[in-house]
């Protein structure tokens, strides 16, 4: 039950309450989230294509992993947990920045997130969870920039917002 609940926050990321994940997305309430970006030693970024069974943004390309910390879980701890669960590896990560965004989807759900963005470097083997990830690849940053410019509908909303901010810090 705990893993189905997310942390509702205010604009300063102060916890207000917890709520079942789907209900929070139906109501479009601001909640705590995180996004993990991974690069390899060639400065290529790991992207994943979200699995077809995801409740929103299915089939779209995005950063290595993203999710919500569970109640009582530190954000960085949650980032490590989900990186292992979704991509089958873990590595050191550092927090880069936070940002808030709101995006509505065709299925009536709304992401309204206070997103903590982390960056890690990894050159090992990726073993994605097939229920979470349809495909993955490492791409040069210039190629990702070109793809976002030429085919923006292939990428998640939050990735298109965060990617330029991440690349400025690389």
Residues designated as active site = 66, 113
Cβ burial of 108 (10 Å; 0-12, 13-18, 19+) is exposed
What is the dihedral sign for C-alpha 18, 162, 167, 130? positive
CA angle 38, 51, 109 (to 5 degrees): 100
* Integer CA distances (angstroms), 88 to 17, 76, 85, 130, in order: 31, 17, 6, 11
**Phi-psi region at 138: left, alpha or beta (left = phi > 0; alpha = psi -120 to 50):** beta
What token pair was written down for 32?
């705590």
Q: Which position has the token pair 């569970």?
A: 70
């Amino acid at each position: 039950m705990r893993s189905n609940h997310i942390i509702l926050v205010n604009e300063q990321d102060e916890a207000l309450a917890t709520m079942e994940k789907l209900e929070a997305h139906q109501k479009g309430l601001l909640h705590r989230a995180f996004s993990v970006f991974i690069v390899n030693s060639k400065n290529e970024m790991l992207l994943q294509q979200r699995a077809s069974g995801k409740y929103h943004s299915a089939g779209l390309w995005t950063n290595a992993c993203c999710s919500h910390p569970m109640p009582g879980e530190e954000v960085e701890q949650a980032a490590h947990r989900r990186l292992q669960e979704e991509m089958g590896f873990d590595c050191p990560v550092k927090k880069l920045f936070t940002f808030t965004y709101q995006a509505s989807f065709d299925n009536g759900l709304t992401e309204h997130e206070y997103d903590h963005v982390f960056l890690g470097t990894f050159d090992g083997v990726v073993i994605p969870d097939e229920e979470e990830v349809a495909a993955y690849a490492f791409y040069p940053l210039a190629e990702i920039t070109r793809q976002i410019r030429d085919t923006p509908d292939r990428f998640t909303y939050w990735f298109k917002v965060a990617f330029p901010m991440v690349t400025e810090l690389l």
